[in-house]
Amino acid sequence: MKKEKNRSGSSMACTGSTKQHHRGRLTALSALVGCLALLSLGGCGSLHAKPPTDPDDLADYKAVNDPYEPFNRKMFSLNMWVYHKALRPVGRFWKNNIPQPIRTSVATLNETWRQPAVFFSDVGAGRPRRAGDSFMRFLLNMTTAGFYDVAQHLGYKQHETDPGMVMALWGVKSGPYIFLPGLGPTNFRDAAGYAIGQGLTPINYVPRGYGLISFNWGYNILGTFNTFADSTDQLDQLEHQSLDPYAFMRSAWQQQRQSQIDTLKADHRATTPDWY
């Protein structure tokens, strides 16, 4: 499960609003860095779970890689509270009242704007074929302003690559599992990768004004609506059918993430597309 990430913006199209926009984005990233720094303080007993002494329990403790479980469970509970109070009702309304073609176009728009970050990640991973696909996906889909997946029909299929996966390919250790408000399940490496990905997303550098601030806010908000509209059934099922929703989500995310990394490692396809 994966959630689409929000970027900071401003509602005023002027010089002052530009400064506010960049300040807001820096504040969000600073909060992320601050949270990671806080977690890294081993002396914070309320945040850190002590390793068990029993050998079997210790093996399980190391396998889940969740030394900050007390903190993570609190953040998970906070996220689910916000989900039930705000995001689930909005997601349900969006899903039940917005036609599927419009929801698909919004999803395609958000995916299109992420393609430059995917491209640079593919280059960093040394995967020219994937880089070519992501470059062509952005180029072709922008001919429809990003609302229609032209590239998919021309043989350039969507794939996931991000800085966190690239760092894994380079041998950077994942670090502990963490659950961050707004970001969800991740780890130290992928949280840093998220910050890098924001720096690789071109819309963050578009000069403000001329209505672009409203567009930036709009596509982020609609993307969030879309994400929860598609995820409400899964989250409801997770809560109702799992004895421990937190542990289930942690395991599911870790397995999905490892599968994405393994797929990237194994992708040694020729540079030319399949249809060539």
For the chain, give the mean pLDDT.
81
Instruction: Compute how many other C-beta atoms are within 10 angstroms of the C-beta atom of residue 154.
Output: 13
Nearest to 72 by CA among 231, 163, 188: 188
Return the pLDDT at 272.
66
Q: Per-residue pLDDT for 246 more than 90?
A: yes
Max mean pLDDT among 41-50, 73-82, 212-221, 265-274 falls in 73-82
Return the pLDDT at 172.
96
pLDDT single digits (tens) 247-270: 999 999 999 999 999 999 999 887
pLDDT above 70 covers a percentage of the chain that reads 76
Distance CA 204, CA 217 (A): 11
Q: 198 — phi, psi (to 5°)? A: -65, -35
Q: How distant, in Å, are the alpha carbons of 36, 82, 83 from that of 93?
A: 35, 16, 14
Q: Which tokens hold the place of 160?
A: 């996931």
Note the helical H segments in 242-276.
245-266
Q: Where are the domains of the chain?
A: 15-45+71-266
pLDDT single digits (tens) 216-234: 667 677 777 788 788 888 8
Q: Which tokens hold the place of 110?
A: 């958000």
Distance CA 113, CA 99 (A): 22
Looking up tokens 């029909």, which residue turns up? 153
Instruction: Compute how many other C-beta atoms are within 10 angstroms of the C-beta atom of residue 159.
Output: 17
- 242 sits in the region (left: phi over 0; alpha: psi -120 to 50; else beta) called beta
pLDDT above 90 covers a percentage of the chain that reads 45
pLDDT single digits (tens) 111-164: 998 999 999 999 999 999 999 999 999 999 999 988 999 999 998 999 999 999
- Report, as an integer, the average pLDDT of 230-243: 88
Return the pLDDT at 85.
92
**Element at 180 (helix H, strand E):** strand 177-180
> Residue 35: what residue type?
C
Return the pLDDT at 273.
61
Distance CA 166, CA 234 (A): 28
Flag the least confident range among 10-19, 168-177, 263-272: 10-19
> Residue 138: what residue type?
F
Burial grade of 255 (CB within 10 A; 0-12, 13-18, 19 or more): exposed
